[in-house]
Amino acid sequence: MANVNVGVIGYGYWGPNIVRNFFAASNCTVKAVADARPERLAQLAKIFPTIQGVTDAEDIINDKEIDAVIIATPVFSHYPLAKKALENGKHVMIEKPMTSTVAEAEALIELADRKGLVLMVDHTFLYTGAVKKMKDLVNSGQLGNINYYDSTRINLGLFQPDVNVVWDLVPHDISILYHLTNERPISVSATGVDHLRNGIENIAYVTLNFQSNMIAHFTCSWSSPVKIRKILVGGDKKMILFDDLEITEKVKVYDTGYSARNDEEKRKLLIDYRTGDVHIPKLEMKEALAGLACDFVAAIQTGKEPVSNWKIGSDVVKVLEAAQRSIKQNGKEIKIVADYERVK
Amino acid sequence: MANVNVGVIGYGYWGPNIVRNFFAASNCTVKAVADARPERLAQLAKIFPTIQGVTDAEDIINDKEIDAVIIATPVFSHYPLAKKALENGKHVMIEKPMTSTVAEAEALIELADRKGLVLMVDHTFLYTGAVKKMKDLVNSGQLGNINYYDSTRINLGLFQPDVNVVWDLVPHDISILYHLTNERPISVSATGVDHLRNGIENIAYVTLNFQSNMIAHFTCSWSSPVKIRKILVGGDKKMILFDDLEITEKVKVYDTGYSARNDEEKRKLLIDYRTGDVHIPKLEMKEALAGLACDFVAAIQTGKEPVSNWKIGSDVVKVLEAAQRSIKQNGKEIKIVADYERVK
Amino acid sequence: MANVNVGVIGYGYWGPNIVRNFFAASNCTVKAVADARPERLAQLAKIFPTIQGVTDAEDIINDKEIDAVIIATPVFSHYPLAKKALENGKHVMIEKPMTSTVAEAEALIELADRKGLVLMVDHTFLYTGAVKKMKDLVNSGQLGNINYYDSTRINLGLFQPDVNVVWDLVPHDISILYHLTNERPISVSATGVDHLRNGIENIAYVTLNFQSNMIAHFTCSWSSPVKIRKILVGGDKKMILFDDLEITEKVKVYDTGYSARNDEEKRKLLIDYRTGDVHIPKLEMKEALAGLACDFVAAIQTGKEPVSNWKIGSDVVKVLEAAQRSIKQNGKEIKIVADYERVK
Amino acid sequence: MANVNVGVIGYGYWGPNIVRNFFAASNCTVKAVADARPERLAQLAKIFPTIQGVTDAEDIINDKEIDAVIIATPVFSHYPLAKKALENGKHVMIEKPMTSTVAEAEALIELADRKGLVLMVDHTFLYTGAVKKMKDLVNSGQLGNINYYDSTRINLGLFQPDVNVVWDLVPHDISILYHLTNERPISVSATGVDHLRNGIENIAYVTLNFQSNMIAHFTCSWSSPVKIRKILVGGDKKMILFDDLEITEKVKVYDTGYSARNDEEKRKLLIDYRTGDVHIPKLEMKEALAGLACDFVAAIQTGKEPVSNWKIGSDVVKVLEAAQRSIKQNGKEIKIVADYERVK
């Protein structure tokens, strides 16, 4: 396999993790990192003396020896940087969320598709041992039909200047949900509040409605005194609790369910409730970002679709956009058009 | 003080707790209990041989020696039973939720007011050591302005035949919230799902919007494999986590907050975040229902307003009604008119 | 089956639980309860008006219609009361610990054996769903060889006037351990401290050594600010954590172990460590005391040996006595002679 | 202040943490690291290209430009390496436990004292925010007299080839205990078991007895399916629970106690029990090893005694040695002679 030369744009909070994992990845060389802040480049030089630091992202986008560009900058800059990189023939991986609007996401997809380049979004959670195990459990049919997905993702977090708490935290949940079920919602209803009265919500609640009668709900907050990272996935046969703050027992599978055999029983509420054993599977412990790096490199080398593909990336933005519109209308239902197939 | 003779209608799930606590209360005698099911009356006779068991609620409502009637029956029957009792000159306490509609609640209030009788709703939580302590903390000003109230109340619960999960579980939260803040919402937005497709939601999410920019949200479910009873109350000075499943550390007070001194700072996100010590106050351990019994008897004897008064009871129904309408319209905002003063 | 008439001596902390469960048991009537304190008998009369209250234990021991006597009094009185009851031909159940000395226990056993009467000790834990499940797991061979038993049983407890914390709390663990493994220790080493300097230890640590290289250790304290009830049972194939304060997940089975195939590997520390899945079995939810009542009645009616038999009761006292001697000699090893077979 | 040149011997499990923290410390340069394993030096070169890697510890001990040597090798080699380094005029910091025997520790102390060199032991815990806070609480008198120290330190750990679980895990607790109380035990009693039957205990229990009637107990195990790191410190006024696996609530202070005013009350068990509020102080978040590095450098530069001084280091070995002797005699009490003042 040909070695892949990578350039990273943005060396802020997440950038160092990106660099460390691609640095350690096989068949891959981190050639340069761009950040406008000299102190960030000094930090880079101290830890990774072999990687070139540049202050201008253009130096990476125009570097003939660079095959792939990773964009780890604020959301508003994702689109222009990715567009230029794709136009210059680079494969591109973008931090989540992919772009600020669905239109931008679709334009990038169209461009990558036309140029035959890999376009990927960094939904890291899809590469965790926990989500892999949950995917296996769903695929095996053990959970039965998925009835609901309920996530709580709260802590005392920094208020972001450009995006609200939905754009900050909900991409994790939408990507996990889409990865697990392959279903897409028909509508979104969301509420929220901006305690600074600056139009940027710090607490929000998002409901996704599905044709199948599945419901998904996300509670997200930057204003909680306690940190919670819990997801419940309820099947009609079994249910999962994924608590990401647990160290060794992150995923619990409950042999819990309820069912009625027929409509008559439902009407009479002759429901068979069941609570049984709980199973805590051992999870793969590999760092998720290492798996993502490997997947990106393999996609470039072999053309195979990465797990965290642009479809999920774009569909996530579609929900974020709708949720934002719903919040501004105090919960009004916003329909989602599942039209991404069109742009492929 | 004159002794109060009490009759209890309904000896199902909650009735025995009612009887046990009024039996033990001072200045009060449980004279009779009505339940149409002979096996329930047999159970009563075994434990309380001195209390008369009757199969017909009318026998209690018409009993000249009974001063007060407690109604612990399914929701739909609250209104007709309470109406008759009030008309017969009995003081009345009703299980939560007060009635099936706001109109019914207002009719009862008008009737009790006209007849000069005590009308009370059993929002038991208001008498717990935890809520009393929270009320003290809010009143002392330690929390500052309340920014949010966020409750999760989920477990594997019996599907009710007549009311959905909102009517079953949310009254606890609305009554606690109203007790703590005295604010009333301007609108409600709610979503939910009925997995049996019988029109009775088993999972629901309710948001309350307030003039003050406070937000309240309730997550409720009969379909969770784990039981959670957690309430977060966020002030701008301190925040509270009330975890009702904790045995000794139910209420935690976090010296956590965030503030910006002026609009300029808010715009520039110069926010002062603070996480400090946590304090776990010791709580009064008395059984809540004993406090409620005492409060009802005292209200009858002295005319003082009980903590869990009809205002809270009626205002709870107002939100339940609005939430139900919102769910049926997939989250559409339903305005709440704070008009209960009119009926007084 | 003939009905068994039961008399209960002692209506203090545990007595009401005894009475409630035998009252509800089949084939059994609680005829009388003895307690010298009038206020305790008044309490009895309020809840169980059909049961005769007497102030003198002799009235029960001499009652011709009573078949079986349950002794729920302070430890020092167990022996004289049980001796009289057995001499009068009554079957006897004694609260744990059985007696104050091994000699007393052996005398009672000899007497019961000679008179053909049931003699049983109330080691309630043996009837819990948790211990039953643990017993099943051990019996099934899933755990492999039991390598250790480690219990922590601490809380802020009342200092007892006559017995130390070992006699108060350790009987639970010894009885569970004996029930699970059927092994008996070869020696005991224990340490402790009496913070009141009155000779009655409020904190103690007890180690049991076994021929098989199994070790058992009990940490017990009346002086802990937190309550802990945790037992670890380590097999070489699987291990169990039993946390009695968990509501629904009391027993966790860890697929965790370590093994070396041969001595060469052990010497070279070529140990195969394994941490795998965790399994939380559903437990029987029946109240333990109800099972004990049933077992006692059945033993009287059918002659079958009860689960919590006198062998366990007496062997428990043997360890308590040795532990006390060891504590007074600052941990000196005290040998245990497994000679109870002699007395049978 | 003159810069201190440091050499580190041993780049195994803990060495990289040592290097990273001294690398980042002020007034200090990590000049060389010695490890006989080429792959470890390769790892060093990758992360710290400016630090010289050598295979022979002598190269560091004999390096004229090196002022101070840090020894992070297996326990048996601590003494010969430290001896040579001190003889060559180097300041020395040794990983815990200090040496394999008390005699070795005393010889090093005598040598360092004679040569006027700093001799320090890396008891990292003394520099954690949690232990600092606990020390403050003890010093402030809030806890009153310390009645007990009870630690549980268990997990599935690698069996060490040369030291047992006591030498591996207990140094943490003894150093914390000595730091908090300044008391020294009069005797030690310990039990343990070697499941591999190789003379190296994998589970052990250690009790320390004190003149003051304080008791300390350490439960340590390499064979637990769950990881626990909990310390209880019981004063007669307040008590502390330090749970090191908690992320944000490591130290809880319980307003819990019990006291009798006089001997008469004690005899009559007129004990005043108290359970009150719980307080969770915010802790300093700085990495402990960074504080230790700073303390070592300052001790060299200014002559001030470091917190983790050789007294604690040597006294820890004294207990370890006694505990080992006690284990081999099944719990026999081993007296401790508090004679270290002699060697100063």
A133-172: pLDDT as tens digits: 999 999 999 999 999 999 999 999 888 888 999 999 999 9
Among D148, D152, D138, D142, which residue's Cα sits nearest to residue D185?
D148
CB within 8 Å of chain D, chain A residues 30-59: 47, 49
The verdict on A225 touching D (C-beta cutoff 8 Å) is no
* Contact assignment for D247 to A245 by CB distance below 8 Å: yes
Nearest Cα of chain D lies from the Cα of C208 at a distance, in angstroms, of 9
Q: Are A118 and A68 in contact (CB under 8 A)?
A: yes
Answer yes or no: do A279 and C280 touch at CB < 8 A: yes
| Confidence class for position C338, pLDDT limits 50, 70, 90 | low
Q: How far is A280 from chain C (nearest CA, A)?
A: 5
- Pick A277's closest partner by Cβ from C255, C275, C282: C282
Q: What is the pLDDT of residue B274?
A: 81
* pLDDT of res. A15: 93
How much is the ipTM here? Answer: 0.94
pLDDT tens track for A8-63: 999 998 999 999 999 989 899 999 999 999 999 998 987 788 899 999 999 999 99
Q: Report the chain B residue with the minimal C-alpha distance to residue C23.
A: B46
Per-residue pLDDT for A118 more than 80? yes
pLDDT band with cut points at 50, 70 and 90 for residue A338: low
Q: Does B187 touch chain A (CB under 8 A)?
A: yes
Mean pLDDT of the C121-150 span: 97
pLDDT of residue C339: 56
Structure tokens at A86: 């794709």
Q: Which residues in A lie closer than 8 A to residue C255 (C-beta atoms)?
A: 282
User: In C, residues 139-178, which contact B (CB 8 Å cutoff)?
Assistant: none
- Separation between Cα atoms, residue D90 and residue D57, nearest integer Å: 13
The pLDDT score that the predictor gives to residue C265 is: 79
Question: Rounded to an integer, what distance in angstroms lies between the CA atom of residue C31 and that of residue C48?
Answer: 11
Whole-number pLDDT of residue D338: 67
Q: Would an 8 Å CB–CB cutoff place D24 in contact with chain A?
A: no
**Predicted pLDDT of residue D52:** 95
Query: What domains does chain C contain, in order, with CATH numbers?
Result: 4-124+288-306 (3.40.50.720), 126-284+318-335 (3.30.360.10)
Contacts of B235 in chain A (CB under 8 A): none
Q: Would you state the pLDDT for residue A343? A: 36
**How close is the nearest chain C Cα to the Cα of A276, in Å?**
5
Contacts of A47 in chain D (CB under 8 A): 47
Q: Show the beta-strand stretches assigned E in chain C.
A: 4-9, 28-34, 52-54, 68-71, 91-95, 119-122, 146-156, 187-193, 203-209, 215-221, 223-235, 239-243, 251-259, 272-280, 334-335
Average pLDDT over residues D49-74: 96
Q: Tell me, what's the pLDDT at D24?
A: 87
Tokens of D323: 């505990």
Amino acid at D63: D
Rounded to an integer, the average pLDDT of D331-336 is 96
Any CB–CB contact under 8 A between A338 and chain C? Answer: no
- At residue C335, the pLDDT reads 96
Q: Which chains share 3+ C-beta pairs under 8 angstroms with C?
A: A, B, D
Per-residue pLDDT reduced to its tens digit, D11-48: 998 999 999 999 989 899 999 999 999 999 998 987 78
| Peptide bond before residue A49 is cis, with ω within 30 degrees of 0 | no
Owner of token pair 């991986």: A93
Write the CB contacts of A73 (distance below 8 Å, at least 6 apart in sequence): A9, A10, A12, A57, A81, A95
In the block, which residue shows the tokens 């009695």?
Answer: C244
Record: contact C193-D187, CB cut-off 8 A: no
B282 CA: distance to closest CA in chain C (Å):
13
**Touching check for B274 and chain D: CB below 8 Å?**
no
C279 in contact with chain A, both atoms CB, cutoff 8 A? yes
Contact A330/B187 with Cβ under 8 angstroms? yes
Is D276 in CB contact (< 8 Å) with chain B? yes
Quote the mean pLDDT of chain A: 93
* Pick from D49, D227, D247: CB nearest A49: D49
Closest D-chain CA to A225:
D248
Burial code (b: 16+ CB inside 10 Å, e: under 16) for D94-107 equals bbbbbbbebebbbb
| Cβ contact A153:A195 at 8 Å | no
Q: Which stretch of A323-337, B327-341, C154-168, C281-295 has the lowest confidence by average pLDDT?
A: B327-341
Q: B38 and B31 in contact (C-beta within 8 Å)?
A: no
What's the pTM value of the predicted model, to 2 decimals?
Answer: 0.93
Nearest CA in chain C to B23: C46
Q: How much is the pLDDT for C343?
A: 36
Q: Compare CB distances from C249 to A248, A276, A278 and report the shortest one's residue.
A: A278
- Say how many CA atoms lie within 13 Å of B303 toward its Cβ: 3
Distances (CA, A) of B270 to A159, A161, A194, B260, B267: 10, 10, 15, 6, 8
In A182-262, where do the E strands start and end? 187-193, 203-209, 215-221, 223-235, 239-243, 251-259
Cα dihedral across residues C130, C136, C139, C145: positive or negative: negative
In chain B, the residue whose alpha carbon lies closest to the alpha carbon of A240 is B225
Q: Which of C49, C245, C247 sits opposite B49 (nearest CB)?
A: C49
Of B275, B277, B282, Cβ closest to residue D275: B282
D245 touches chain A (CB under 8 A): yes
| Chain A with chain D: Cβ pairs closer than 8 A | 8
Contact of C282 with chain B, judged by CB distance below 8 Å, is answered with no
- Indicate if the pLDDT at residue C342 is higher than 60: no
- Report chain B residues whose CB lies below 8 A from the CB of C248: 227
Identify which of D255, D276, D280 has the shortest CB distance to residue B278.
Answer: D280
Mutation pick from A46, A229, A282 vs chain D, by most beta carbons of D within 10 Å, is A46
Contact between A247 and D247 using a beta-carbon 8 Å cutoff: no
The answer to whether A281 contacts chain C (CB < 8 Å) is yes
Q: Which of residues 79-108 of A touch B (CB under 8 A)?
A: none
For an interface test with A, give the residue of D19, D30, D46, D51 to mutate (most A CBs within 10 A).
D46
Contacting residues of B for D249, CB less than 8 Å apart: 278
Cα distance from A226 to chain D (closest Cα, Å)? 9
The reply to whether D12 touches chain B by the CB within 8 Å rule is no
Say whether residue B243 is in contact with chain D using an 8 A CB cutoff.
no
With an 8 Å Cβ cutoff, are D280 and B280 in contact? yes
Q: C24: Cβ–Cβ under 8 A, 6 or more apart, which residues?
A: C290, C293
pLDDT at D340: 46
Q: What is the pLDDT of residues D263-305, one digit of tens each?
A: 777 777 778 888 899 999 999 989 999 999 999 999 999 999 9
Low-confidence ranges of chain B (pLDDT < 70): 338-344
High-pLDDT (> 90) share of chain D, %: 85
Contacting A residues, span 297-316, partner chain D, CB-CB under 8 Å: none
Please state the rounded mean pLDDT for residues C85-99.
Answer: 97
Q: Which of B203, B234, B329 sits opposite A223 (nearest CB)?
A: B234
Nearest to A159 by CA among A194, A129, A184, A115: A194
Interface test with B, best of A154, A156, A246, A334 (most B CBs within 10 A): A156
The whole-number pLDDT of residue A344 equals: 36
